[in-house]
């Protein structure tokens, strides 16, 4: 019995310069690893009558369902600050939209945007994205989601030799990026730029539809500032480092997109970097705020033609308009961290206390997640978790005087997050053909805030032998 998906194809009704129409490649022996029944049901996908093998054929792209119009999207971007006029989906196929959400295969073969890439994905990054994106969703972070993961039965060649291939089915509010606007802006294709602006507003920000072009452009920038500043505050409060905040990975819908070399902090460090390719720390933990602002400016540049025919005046207006809203990024990040300390009515004067705590964590190399989780205990009784020092005593007394809602903290500070070594263990075991730990980890991450005695190992930081020092794009 076929899977029942009611596809809509709004992106494919955009002009042809927005994409390449292309089907996924054929894969030798796809096998189902996981199908997210809950998400499928939310999307109104009738899956109950479909066998695992049929799901594997569909979500490897071997079988194209009726109504699907596969395409690879065009986009550009600044990668590590360098302009790349054409990137695009080099290994992804949008199958269509369901209930307003994109259904996209990732790792499904070459397209005209593949450049030198093989169009494929190794299984490791597929499992990583599945675990992390679903965990982020449970933690309340706007994100792409994962509907399905399959192995392809083929090998892909990466830096350490052959690895099993995999394909992820990604679900997103959309895959429009700042880089999608840049693609047309770099070409000076104003007609397409305007079509994209209209499409983005229709799809995500219909409240801007009635405005003139200039106000639509300014309004869209404001919306993005609002959503992205919330998003990055949430990342910060979980110790999440995205790892590649290039403009092509910066969503116009304000969601987390592209889980490549992402990672969660174990011990706290302001400028922590995991990604092997981030040599200068451009995308380090605390640099995510300045980089997000930088990305917003890159979007604003695309809109110059809509703002004023005089470029200098347009830039002056944008700079004036953006200055104040961009401060939200810093404010919301601090507010989110303060909330984790039980300060629910954050004032800018609290920044000192928050920073004092973080500096102490850094100095003592304490685990970020567990340190915040321990604050509730610290409030009620002495805690062995925190090494004693003069700084600590000083912090403790200031904090105890300031804290408000300490008893709510177990709902704010998770105990179980997708720690790097847990993800690595799930991948290592999967590479031997055993998916038990992968499934178990996904299950534990469905209740990040509720402690369960049988889940103790999932709350612990890595042992020295388990520590992950670097993460890779896996591309
Ligand atoms: P990412 O680092 O995954 O955001 O990808 C950056 C760009 O490289 C995008 O245009 C991807 O489609 C492309 N890309 C990444 N990996 C591959 C691959 N294995 N084959 C073809 N294109 C790829
Ligand atoms: Mg990307």
pLDDT digits (tens, 9 = 90+) for 103-154: 999 999 999 999 999 999 999 999 999 999 999 999 999 999 999 999 999 9
- Kindly name the residue from 248, 258, 278, 367 that is annotated as catalytic: 248
Q: Mean pLDDT over residues 411-426, rounded?
A: 98
Q: Mean pLDDT over residues 241-251, rounded?
A: 98
- Contact predicate 247/177, CB 8 Å: yes
Residues with CB under 6 A from ligand 1: 87-91, 113-114, 117-120, 244, 249, 258, 260, 473, 475
Site to substitute for ligand 1 among 71, 78, 79, 91, most atoms within 8 A of C-beta: 91
**CA 449 to ligand 1 center in whole angstroms:** 34
Residue 475 has pLDDT above 70, yes or no: no
Q: Which-ligand-closest: CA of 177?
A: 2
**CA 91 to ligand 2 center in whole angstroms:** 10
pLDDT digits (tens, 9 = 90+) for 345-382: 999 999 999 999 999 999 999 999 999 999 999 999 99
Specify the ligand 1 atom closest to the Cα of 111. Answer: 21
Q: Whose CA is nearest to atom 23 of ligand 1?
A: 90
Q: Over pLDDT 70: what percentage of the chain?
A: 99
Question: What pLDDT sits at residue 472?
Answer: 82
Question: What pLDDT sits at residue 382?
Answer: 94
Question: What pLDDT sits at residue 474?
Answer: 65
Q: DSSP readout, 202-238?
A: HHH-GGGTTS-HHHHHHHHHHHHHHHHHHHHHHHHHH
Tokens of 245: 């905040």
**CA 220 to ligand 1 center in whole angstroms:** 27
**CA 228 to ligand 1 center in whole angstroms:** 23
Site to substitute for ligand 1 among 72, 117, 175, most atoms within 8 A of C-beta: 117
pLDDT digits (tens, 9 = 90+) for 159-197: 889 999 999 999 999 999 999 999 999 999 999 999 999
189 is catalytic: no
Q: Whose CA is nearest to atom 15 of ligand 1?
A: 475
**CA 125 to ligand 2 center in whole angstroms:** 13
Alpha carbon separation from 201 to 271, 303, 315 (Å, rounded): 36, 14, 22
- Contact predicate 422/441, CB 8 Å: yes
Nearest to 365 by CA among 234, 265, 237: 265
pTM above 0.85, yes or no: yes
**Beta carbons within 8 Å of 81's beta carbon, 6+ residues apart:** 282
């Amino acid at each position: 019995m076929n899977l029942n998906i009611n596809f809509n194809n709004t992106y494919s009704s955009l002009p042809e310069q927005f994409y390449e129409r292309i089907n996924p490649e054929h894969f030798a022996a796809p096998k189902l690893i996981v199908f997210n029944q809950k998400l499928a049901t939310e999307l109104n996908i009738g899956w109950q009558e479909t066998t695992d093998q049929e799901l594997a054929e569909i979500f490897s792209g071997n079988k194209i369902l009726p109504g699907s119009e596969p395409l690879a999207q065009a986009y550009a971007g600044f990668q590590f600050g360098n302009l790349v006029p054409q990137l695009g989906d080099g290994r992804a196929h949008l199958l269509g939209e369901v209930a307003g959400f994109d259904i996209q295969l990732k790792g499904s073969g070459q397209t005209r945007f593949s450049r030198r890439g093989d169009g494929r994905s190794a299984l490791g990054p597929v499992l990583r994205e599945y675990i992390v994106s679903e965990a982020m969703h449970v933690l309340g972070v706007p994100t792409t989601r994962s509907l399905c993961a399959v192995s392809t039965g083929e090998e892909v060649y990466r830096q350490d030799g052959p690895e099993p291939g995999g394909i992820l089915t990604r679900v997103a509010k959309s895959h429009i990026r700042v880089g999608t606007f840049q693609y047309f802006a770099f070409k000076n294709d104003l007609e397409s730029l305007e079509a994209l602006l209209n499409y983005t507003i229709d799809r995500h920000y219909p409240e801007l539809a009635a405005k003139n072009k200039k106000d639509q452009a300014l309004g869209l920038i404001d919306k993005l500032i609002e959503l992205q500043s919330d998003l990055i505050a949430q990342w910060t409060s979980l110790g999440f480092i995205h790892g590649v905040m290039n403009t092509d990975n910066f969503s116009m819908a304000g969601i987390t997109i592209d889980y490549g070399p992402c990672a969660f902090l174990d011990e706290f460090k302001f400028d922590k970097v995991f990604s092997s390719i981030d040599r200068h720390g451009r995308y380090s933990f605390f640099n995510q705020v300045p980089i997000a602002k930088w990305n917003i400016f890159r979007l604003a540049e695309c809109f110059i033609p809509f703002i004023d025919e005089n470029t200098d005046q347009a830039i002056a207006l944008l700079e004036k308009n953006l200055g104040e809203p961009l401060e939200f990024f810093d404010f919301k990040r601090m507010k989110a961290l303060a909330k984790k300390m039980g300060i629910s009515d954050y004032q800018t004067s609290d920044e000192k206390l928050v920073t004092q705590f973080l500096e102490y964590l850094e100095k003592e190399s304490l685990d970020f997640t567990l340190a915040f989780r321990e604050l509730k205990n610290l409030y009620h009784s002495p805690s062995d978790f925190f090494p004693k020092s003069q700084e600590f005593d000083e912090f403790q007394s200031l904090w105890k005087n300031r804290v408000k809602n300490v008893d709510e903290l177990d709902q704010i500070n998770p105990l179980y997050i997708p720690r790097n070594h847990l993800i690595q263990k799930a991948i290592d075991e999967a590479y031997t053909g055993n998916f038990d730990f992968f499934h178990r980890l996904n299950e534990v991450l469905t209740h990040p805030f509720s402690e369960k005695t049988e889940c103790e190992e999932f709350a612990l930081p890595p042992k020295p032998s388990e520590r992950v020092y670097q993460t890779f794009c896996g591309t």
